[in-house]
Amino acid sequence: LKKKAKAWEKEASEVKLAAVLGAGIMGGGVAYQSALKGTPIIMKDINQDGITLGLNEAKKLLTKRVDKGRMKAGQMADVLNSITPTLNYGDFKNVDLVVEAVVENPKVKDAVLREVEDAVREDAILTSNTSTISIDLLAKNLKRPENFCGMHFFNPVHMMPLVEVIRGKKTSDRAIATTVAYAKAMGKTPIVVNDCPGFLVNRVLFPYFGGFVGLVRDGADFQKVDKVMEKFGWPMGPAYLLDVVGMDTGKHAGEVMADGFPDRMKHAETTAIDVMFENNRYGQKNDVGFYKYE
């Protein structure tokens, strides 16, 4: 993945202050990683519980670093102080780059992106952490689509090195260069990919989930499938991975993929993911999915 610097990389604008919309699994992780690596970040959600969860997760990860001797207690306070939690767009005029990380729903993302576009300066870069939704679709109603691209982190953000930076048809070199530079500043390995539903990683991963739910429909025991995939060498099996991702996100992302690739991905029948979702078994986020968590 290491390549010589491209000409467009010189166009990067400095990101002195970032913002993340949504303080959930991904938004909380982005806030933690940005603050840890030295870029202050505003973390906005629509409910206080989300903010509290996001901040608690950051505190937990920082406490672990202090306990392991990788950070001093004073540094931990500085990192936490560089995450500014908020329920409104008050300070967004000073923001250089926004990562949108709200629910995987095109309509909600469209509304949130248009709202934040009015709250930031004209030169601010907007990005979406969508797992699967086309960047061109999300850019459709933006006034400045040239300032918009995908910035797709993986879960858990603090552990996963890869970030997909997705170039839409109207995305400028400056937007890509700024997003790539910010990903690198966060200690990540960005790759620039073209736009399509699922981008690169989820075009590989979702057919795998499709294979898994097909096996379960044919009568396979999900725990056995997980054990086999671990022996195969994967860090975790598909059922456990779906619990980590969140069944709501998995279901909605799966639907985007099925709509995007109807010949290859369409599932006519109800899947194990649908059954989990309908029974409020979202995975680790609410302590029960395929497995139970305490």
CA distance 223 to 218: 14
Positive/negative CA dihedral, 178, 179, 181, 182:
positive
C-alpha separations of 54 from 32, 61, 92 in Å: 9, 11, 19
Nearer to ligand NAD, 23 or 76 (CB): 23
209 with 217: CB under 8 angstroms?
Answer: no
Q: Which residue is nearest to ligand NAD (CB)?
A: 24
Q: Residue 285 CB, nearest distance to ligand NAD (Å)? A: 6
Q: How far is the CB of 85 from ligand NAD (least distance, A)?
A: 12
By C-beta, is 40 or 150 nearer to ligand NAD?
150
Q: Which is nearer to ligand NAD, 96 or 164 (CB)?
A: 164
Residue in this structure with the two tokens 């690198």, named with its chain if needed: 184
Can you say whether the dihedral through the CA atoms of 185, 29, 81, 85 is positive or negative?
A: positive
Q: Give min distance, CB of 79 to ligand NAD, in A.
A: 20
> Which one-letter DSSP state was computed for residue 4?
P
Please name which of 233, 19, 30, 225 lies closest in space to residue 126, comparing C-alpha atoms: 19
Distance of CA 213 to the CA centre of its chain: 23
CA–CA distance, 24 with 56 (Å, rounded to integer): 11
d(CA 280, CA 222): 18
Q: How far is the CB of 74 from ligand NAD (least distance, A)?
A: 29
Reply yes or no on whether 252 is catalytic: no
Q: Which residues bind ligand NAD (CB under 6 A)?
A: 21-27, 44-47, 50, 101-104, 108, 112, 129-131, 153-155, 245-246, 249, 253, 285
CA atoms 215, 232, 286, 201: torsion sign: negative
Q: How far is the CB of 71 from ligand NAD (least distance, A)?
A: 25
Q: In the complex with ligand NAD, which residue's Cβ is closer, 40 or 246? A: 246
Active site residues: 152
